[in-house]
Chain A
Amino acid sequence: MSSEVSFGGALSGASEVAHRTRRLLLVGFVFLVPWIVIVARLWFLQLERGPHYESLASGNFVRESDITPDRGRIFDAKGRVLAENRPSYDIMASPNILFRNKEVPQLLATKLPIDRDKLERLIAASETGAGAEIVVRRDVPRDQVAVVETWKNELPGIYLRISQRRYYPFDSLAAHTIGYVSGISEEEARSWESTGYTGGDQVGRTGLERWFESILRGAPGLERNVVDVRGVEQSAAVANELLGSLRRVEPVPGQELVLTLDADLTQIADDAMARTPSGGLVALDPRDGSILALYSKPGFNLNAWSGRLSNEEKRRIDNDPFKPMLNKVTSSYFPGSTYKVVTAMAGLEEGLVNPKTEVDCSGVFHYGNRDFRCWNRTGHGEVNLSSALAASCDIYFYGLGVELGIDRLARYATEFGFGEMTGVTLPGESAGLVPTKAWHETHSDGGFQFGFAVNTSVGQGDVRTTPLQLALTYAALANGGSLYYPRLVDRIQLQDGTAVYEYPRKARRQLPFKPENIRQVMRGLRAVLDTEEGTAREYRLSYLDAAGKTGTAQVRALDTARLDGAEALFADRDHAWFVAVAPADDPRIVVSVFVEHGGHGASAAAPVAMKVIDRYFREVLGMDEAVTAYVDGSDRTRLHELLHEPEAVAAGAPPKVSGEPGVPMFRSPKEGSGSVPEVRP
């Protein structure tokens, strides 16, 4: 160090150097303090709270949207599509883009019909720029899609979202069984939050769509997109870079249902029921409980109910006296004389009658201080079990009813499956009602009276059964005593057709009756069709022995003779029933027909059932030629062979049968099974 100072302020001595160094060191330490504070702050932000900020950052740039899974399709037994999906377009709006384009909502309103509420919501959204994307219009027709596409540049923030809609190729065929879907409201979505539904999701409302909702629905996937601060989606490259494999979670498609139902037979049922405004029909295979047709009338259009149903249309259907939305095959009604099998079986089992026991029907039955009349005012004369069933003599069963008592009758009815749900995989099934003494004590004015057993013995009074219950009960009689669970779904399968569950052919129970007694009852049921006094003899098929039972259930107790035809108010008319089994000796089909307020069972319901059976064998099972050959006498063995070797027949049967000549049985589904979106106003 030099002490030569050539100019003022230069260093002047060792002490000065030491002082300078000390001071600079001090400054250096002072610098260290805020520096460490900043480093500590960064430590806290980046390491301590790093994960927290990471999730905040993800929340910023990741926009998640659900991918709706393919809803499982529903097929009939022959693989025809009953319910499938078609693409549909929703018009969407994103508030944060509208925020910077406040003129868009008004402009949109000049191009498309938009509800006033919706427009107000869009304007409100453009003011705040906040909130989730808004559905402007759901499932818009093609021309509106075109409008949005055309005006894309003038309408920033308005875009199309492709989604799926349910499509039912057969419109209203088997509507009650298939059921419809509709979007759930935000409110419903909240209450179902745990199940992962969001507002607007399609959910099954009735029928199989509802019962199998969790199976058909599948699991939604997730798409994550990268957005910038304005909510504008970034390029796929950016999204891949930032999210990688997290970008997309594939949806799991819903599983598919293959039904035991035959669409042809359901159409046949519809044809057969053409003349009746209201009723139901069940056809099932008595050998395993598989349901072949499940038909309720009037029906409704599934596509209309799954889409945009106008308020007028909804009101019209809601006010329809024939209750189109009610599934009549699982609703319960007075069974009338079809219930006599219960009384007959109870009488035989309890040893109160044997097949030869004869009762003299004079047309009236005195019990207590009341007269119970037979439907045949003049009386049937001497009847035994078989002829009583054949002619549907009330007097025979009145007497049995009195002897059995209401509770014993009820026990047999319960054995037959009445008064309990069949377990069909459909929502809203009625258990029906089997009245007992105890039931009457609490439900009838004045409590139980002995006369109730008399009414009950012929399916009147308070007994109520569903057409499905009757079909299963008759099936049990026909197959020798196995009361089956109804099989409506044959199997559940994956989208590629791999079966994941096959519904078992399972009996609920074996009827605990002597086989001989079952045979005796069946003999009576055959007599209904093939004896002179049989109530349904005029509807017997020339080539086939069938068994069955008519029922005419009084809806209102009238002192005068039963009213029929136009004289009676519709709602006062009797319910008509017919349950038929064919062939009687080797049963293949049971048909239970219920014609609500249809009048006589014999004239209103029996022809329907027999027509269905006739066409089932001729058309569905493809025995038409054999039947013709049998009828004209040219070949009597072929039909016999076919009837007793069912599997061989089924394999050789023509795949598709048409109804009336020249008229396609069904409106054929659109080409590519609905992939062309049907535009509805």
Chain B
Amino acid sequence: MKSTRLAGNRTRNVDLVLLFLLMTIALVGYVDLHSSANVAVTGHDKAHLIRLTVGLVAATAIGFRDYRFLERWAYIIYAGVMLLLLAVLFVGDIRNGSQRWIDLGFFDLQPSELAKLAVIIALARYFHDLGERDRLGFADLWPPALMVAFPCVLILEEPDLGTGLVVLFIALTMMAVQRISWLVIGASGLAAAAAAPIMWFFVMHDYQKARVFAFMSPERHLQGDAWQVSQSMIAIGSGGLTGKGFLKGSQVQGGFVTYHETDFIFAHHAEQWGFMGSLLLLGLYLALAWWSLNIARTARDRFAMLCSVGVGAFVFWHVIINIGMVTGTLPVVGLWLPLVSYGGTATVTVMAAMGLLTSISLRRHVF
């Protein structure tokens, strides 16, 4: 190809907006993690910094590669991840009552994280192959529906309701940029309504139901799940307008907020920096999601466009569901906050997604 000729342009084409958003959010995340309780003991802030750096390098590396290899390998990657998802149900480590991890010795792999990316690539490939057609009907849509449903069921089986939801929301968002017949939309709506009770009685686990109950009547569940959320809400609420300041978040420093380095790190952020700080972080996330839509707009092809939408949706819904849960707006489902929460697979996954976005962005002006 014309890769040698393009090489000079690529560096000029580096998406500075994306890089800025990425690094700003990562910086905020590092500061939050660094100021979280017990960090001196766990050293998680340093580990996180190393992962972010490695992730950023990897993302840039991916970025300079042509994303189209992913297009070619999409279904293979998808199949591989599905196998891992199956495997985790048999050989996975059980932690906190759910079986999500495969111990690779040096790294604890979470196939459900990879599934998010696999579904994005696979769906993008499918709709790319389908071409620009009007009024997609059932005949066109059952394969992608299966592609989404299969990992969703496996992930819910682990169980990991949050990730399952995110996969579903990513798929729905990607569907939203397709021209789908109203019949299908109506029928899907009805099916979803019908599926809800089935989910409740046959798929959802007791602890997940307990969280929903706790969410609906927090005052009755002050010792269990709701305690977690109420302490998180106290942390957030007590942050006020400007927050309690660096290292002064009593709720987190006193250990009242559980998982304050991972799933509940936003409570720490909001306690420390207040409404202003919360708004800043939320604004950065919205900007990132919108920017990925902008990248989608200028993307060279349908695959790239769909991947960008998928990545944007991935980050965005992760943020919404995570903050929804720590603010007591949604039941607790267990999701991390992209780029901010401490966690190996989480960082790797989100950085890989950002790499994909960089790659797409780099090649936006090719045509």
Contacts and interface: CB of A to CB of B under 8 A. Distances in A.
Given A52-B237, A57-B234, A27 B329 contact: no
Given A9-B129, A20-B177, A57 B329 contact: no
B237 to A, nearest CB: 3
A567 B202 CA distance: 100
B367 A11 contact: yes
Contacts of B293: 24, 27-28, 31
A10 B301 contact: yes
Nearest to A7: B301
Contacts of B128: 8-9
A332 B361 CA distance: 105
A46 B234 contact: no
A566 interface: no
A238 interface: yes
B233 A53 contact: yes
A485 interface: no
Given A42-B279, A47-B240, A60-B256, A11 B301 contact: yes
A16 B240 contact: no
B51 interface: no
Interface string A19-63: 111011011101110110111011101110111111011101100
Contact of B320 (A2, A34, A45, A227): A34
Contacts, number: 152
Contacts of B251: 57, 60-61
A642 B57 CA distance: 106
A41 B328 CA distance: 9
Contacts of A54: 237-238, 240
Interface size class of B (residues with CB under 8 A): 35 or more
B327 A41 contact: yes
Interface stretch (A72-80, A228-236, A613-621): A228-236
A242 interface: yes
B255 A230 contact: yes
A226 interface: yes
B97 interface: no
Contacts of A35: 282, 286, 320
B302 interface: yes
Contacts of B297: 20-21, 24
Given A7-B301, A20-B297, A241-B248, A30 B238 contact: no
B331 to A, nearest CB: 14
Interface residues of A, number: 51
Interface stretch (B13-21, B82-90, B270-278): B270-278
Contacts of A39: 279, 282
A32 to B, nearest CB: 8
A12 interface: yes
Contacts of B316: 31
A9 B254 CA distance: 55
A24 B275 contact: no
Interface string B245-288: 00110110111100000000000001000110011001000100
B132 interface: yes
A9 to B, nearest CB: 4
A45 B367 contact: no
A378 to B, nearest CB: 93
Contacts of B235: 57
Contacts of B294: 24
A57 to B, nearest CB: 4
Interface of B: 128-129, 131-132, 173, 176-177, 179, 231, 233-241, 247-248, 250-251, 253-256, 270, 274-275, 278-279, 282, 286, 289-290, 293-294, 296-297, 300-303, 305, 309, 312-313, 316, 320, 323-324, 327-329, 367
Q: Which 9 A-B pairs have the closest CB atoms?
A: A53-B237, A57-B238, A229-B255, A9-B302, A46-B275, A50-B240, A23-B177, A45-B237, A228-B254
30 contacts: A2-B367, A9-B303, A16-B132, A20-B297, A20-B305, A23-B177, A24-B309, A27-B176, A27-B313, A39-B279, A39-B282, A41-B327, A42-B270, A42-B275, A42-B282, A43-B275, A45-B327, A46-B241, A46-B270, A49-B237, A53-B237, A57-B235, A57-B237, A60-B251, A226-B254, A227-B254, A228-B255, A228-B256, A229-B256, A230-B255
Given A56-B238, A228-B255, 12 more contacts: A7-B301, A8-B129, A9-B301, A34-B320, A38-B324, A38-B329, A45-B237, A46-B236, A50-B237, A53-B234, A60-B234, A60-B251
